């Protein structure tokens, strides 16, 4: 059962990611490049911790983020990357990175909410888990793996709640 599940996931994930990337439209007219410092305040001191860059568009009295965006720490290590649609909502493939720029989480977004597979990785780069989102809600099967690649748990979820545990070590 698990082999067929992973075979299905291995076919679905690249297909859904490619479909999202292929569907990413060009920038709307009037979109302007934009870069900003990412700051935090510690003990009352404002500190720049990185930079975000992408595009923004002024629509009436609102400014929306559009097109590709990315953020990096001051040393250039990537923190996240992804796309905003022309309405300023997350769309397509978004990637969050862990230290040293290794991929941590990759997921698809549709109309600003997580939709489709979300894949997470351990610090050693091995697959940590796969979770399915249906329009922002965790529905379907989720799989958790050890850093060595062994299945720890397989769960069925509905509306973010675990309805059945299929395997747990």
Contacts of 169 (CB under 8 A, 6+ apart): 150, 151, 152, 153
Span 115-168, pLDDT tens digits: 989 999 999 999 999 988 888 777 888 899 999 989 998 988 887 788 888 765
Domains of the chain: 2-27+68-168 (2.20.110)
pLDDT confidence bin for 107, thresholds 50/70/90: very high
- pTM summary value: 0.73
Residue 93: which pLDDT band, with cuts at 50, 70 and 90?
Answer: very high
What is the mean pLDDT of the segment spanning 47-59?
81
User: Which of the four pLDDT bands, split at 50, 70 and 90, describes residue 98?
Assistant: confident
pLDDT in tens, 72-83: 888 888 888 999
Over 70: is that where the pLDDT of 9 sits? no
């Amino acid at each position: 059962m698990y082999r067929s599940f992973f075979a299905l996931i291995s076919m679905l994930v690249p297909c859904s990611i490619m479909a999202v990337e292929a569907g990413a439209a060009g920038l709307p007219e009037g979109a302007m490049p934009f870069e900003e410092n990412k700051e935090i305040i510690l003990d009352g001191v404002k500190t720049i911790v990185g930079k975000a860059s992408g595009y923004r568009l002024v629509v009436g009295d609102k400014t929306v983020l559009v097109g590709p965006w990315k953020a990096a720490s001051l040393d250039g290590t990537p923190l996240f990357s992804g796309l905003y649609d022309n309405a300023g909502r997350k769309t397509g493939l978004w990637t969050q990175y862990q230290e040293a720029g290794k991929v941590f989480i990759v997921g698809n977004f549709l109309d600003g909410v997580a939709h489709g597979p979300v894949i997470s990785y351990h610090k050693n780069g091995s697959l940590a888990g796969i979770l399915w989102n249906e329009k922002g809600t965790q529905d379907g099967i989720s799989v958790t793996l050890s850093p060595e690649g062994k299945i720890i748990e397989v769960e069925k979820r509905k509306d973010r709640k675990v309805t059945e545990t299929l395997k747990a070590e």
